[in-house]
Amino acid sequence: MSTPESTDASAHTASPSAQTGPQAESSQPPNGPELTLWAPDRSYVRVDWSRAGGDGVETTQGVGDMQPKGDGWWRWQAPDLAADDRLDYAFRLDGGPALPDPRSAWQPHGVDGRSRWFDAAAYSWHDATWAGPQQGEGVLGAVFYELHVGTFTPEGTLDAAQRRLGHLVELGVDVVELMPVASFAGRWNWGYDGVGPWSVHDAYEGPAALQRFVDACHQVGLGVCLDVVYNHLGPAGNYLPTFGPYFSDRHPTPWGPGLNLDGDGSFHVRRWIVDSALRWFADFHLDALRLDAVHELHDDSDQHVLAQLSDEVGALAARLGRPLALVAESDLNQPRMVAPTADGGRGMDAQWDDDVHHALHVTLTGETQGYYRDFAGDSRAMPDGGPLAVLAKVLTGAFLHDGSWSSFRGSDWGAPVDREHTDGRRFLAYLQNHDQVGNRAVGDRISATIPLSRQAVGATLYLTSAFTPMVFMGEEWGASTPFQFFTDFEDPELGKAVTEGRRSEFADHGWDAADVPDPQDEQTMRRSQLDWAEPHEGEHARLLTYYRDLIALRRKEFELGDGRLDLVDVQFDDKDGWLVMRRGSVATVVNLTHSRWTVPLDGTPREVLLAWDPEQTKIRPNGLHLPPGTAAVVRLGST
């Protein structure tokens, strides 16, 4: 796992470029930075470059011949640079067109333009005493908060997001999870069409802004997790195949050929991924990376690239003296994803758990279309129970599909979690996230479907569960703004294809094309920006207060922070519509009916610790009387 104590620092050696790429310089050499490039099977490589002063006025330009270093690597020594000089450059392979650096940190001229050299060591950090999230305990059990930089604020920049950190601190957040910031084509994008995984999008204010953001977070006690996408590149501005065998037809993905992780040249492709991850931690002081859809990183090598990454990140954590974490998005429902590499696992510290989301969503909304069907129960996956039986299973065992039949996938799926030995905090639980909102036809949040009181039921369950909780931006006040799928491709044919493809996809599910927002319309993005007046208004303010109190209660009550799944007990009645999740002496009690109900308890309720409607929540002998569609957390005594 990726903690300072757990990996061998000598597990792997760095590639020729690991510390010599233009974005990995630890300090500026006397005669300018050295640029390096992996481009095997090329006869010659040239660098088109220009130098400008701090005022942006170009002073020098030229063309340089790169020198071969062996094993497909090339190098070029840049001219002297003053402290505020800007060096823009592009590579020409065998006299071809000028191309951006595959390891570019900054693309101020767009994804098709020249790269800009970035000296990561130039920034003066103020986080020397930062020990890591939760005072150095790491991310397990921490409260995550997922946000999209472009829609979190009206300005849509990292500096603007930095000005809202006070809201996150007051909410009780431990780790801010940034959706991808990699460079993409156009002015805005919902996040997963990036083509520069080493870079920070210029409209977000570039790589220096990310350093400022992380530094500011650490100064107020917040860790930072960055969502990175290594399984594919977007449809515009992807030049990787021109440089070398980065992709392979042997492993197709939903986006086309997969990354070449186990064929000829794969050593350097793997280093392109691993070196990028190490650089985010070392040069940008990040605390965690969220790895997008790792089930599409197909790798038949003796050591899977995820295990390699885990070992190398662990070694770096040991050198830095602070915990570093890898959080996987995985569709596989395989506990080995979070098992140590020494035990044959992938070594991820944690993974997203969509089964928890699906069970909560079906229970609260009643939706059963598509992949939600199995989570309604009375199916091959759960033949002897309804939605509350499914919810009880995932709250105690993480997965519904743990070797059982998955109707959506058309096969048996997953494997069971060892409840006694697997820490529940290795699974992230959530009521909403970017996928589960943005992949809906109109990007509607759960608060657009159910009352805020019922949303509070879902929040109570996952925020008092044995899992690591994650809040999606705006969820905490029941934001009325959607989070829709949006793009800004400049190529009219590509833009048209994206719009038509999106509408066709949902037409198959009964949607009228006119009702599906056009991803290419600027207003689709504008509608997705949070309204920061709402948290102070009416029921929005009430829900925000409830989320704050829930998170504070989770932090206060030791038993709520315990990841022991075998100590979680869930009682329920699908017919009568109630559920009780007990964590030691603390119980979360839920009434999902449309009438008042006294929920039976296995123990004497002593105290109501928190309730959505405290005035109408009453302690009864061996039970708790709850208003319809509400939840409460109580302390129990012995029976």
Binding-site entries: 290-295, 354-358, 434-439
As given in the structure block, the two tokens for residue 519 are: 């991803």
- Rounded CA-CA distance 636/607 in Å is 7
For residue 28, give the nearest of 94, 81, 70 by alpha carbon. 81
**DSSP 8-class letter at 276:** H
For residue 446, give the nearest of 524, 372, 545 by alpha carbon. 372
The answer to whether residue 34 is catalytic is no
Which residues lie below 8 Å from residue 55, measured CB to CB, with a gap of 6+? none
Residue 273 sits at φ, ψ, to 5 deg, of -75, -55
Give the length of the chain.
Answer: 639
Helix (H, G, I), strand (E, B) or coil at 190: coil
As given in the structure block, the two tokens for residue 204 are: 């977000």
Given the residues 25, 174, 329, 557, select the one marked as catalytic: 329
- Rounded CA-CA distance 416/381 in Å is 13
Contact 197, 279 (CB under 8 A): no
As given in the structure block, the two tokens for residue 518 are: 């056009």
Separation of CA 580 from chain center = 30
- Rounded CA-CA distance 556/84 in Å is 49
Based on the number of CB atoms within 10 Å of its own CB, is 489 exposed (0-12), middle (13-18) or buried (19 or more)?
Answer: buried
Q: How many CB atoms lie within 10 A of CB 421?
A: 11
Which residues lie below 8 Å from residue 498, measured CB to CB, with a gap of 6+? 487, 489, 519, 520
For residue 93, give the nearest of 85, 101, 82 by alpha carbon. 101
Given the residues 292, 374, 475, 574, select the one marked as catalytic: 292
The answer to whether residue 292 is catalytic is yes
Which residues lie below 8 Å from residue 410, measured CB to CB, with a gap of 6+? none
Residue 58 sits at φ, ψ, to 5 deg, of -70, 130
Q: Output the CA–CA distances (angstroms, integers) from residue 117 to 24, 90, 103, 108, in the order listed.
A: 10, 10, 10, 10
For tokens 């999106």, what's the residue? 502
Edge-first strand listing for the sheet containing 67-70: 34-38, 73-77, 67-70
Binding-site annotation, residues for substrate: 290-295, 354-358, 434-439
- Rounded CA-CA distance 428/166 in Å is 24
Catalytic residues: 292, 329
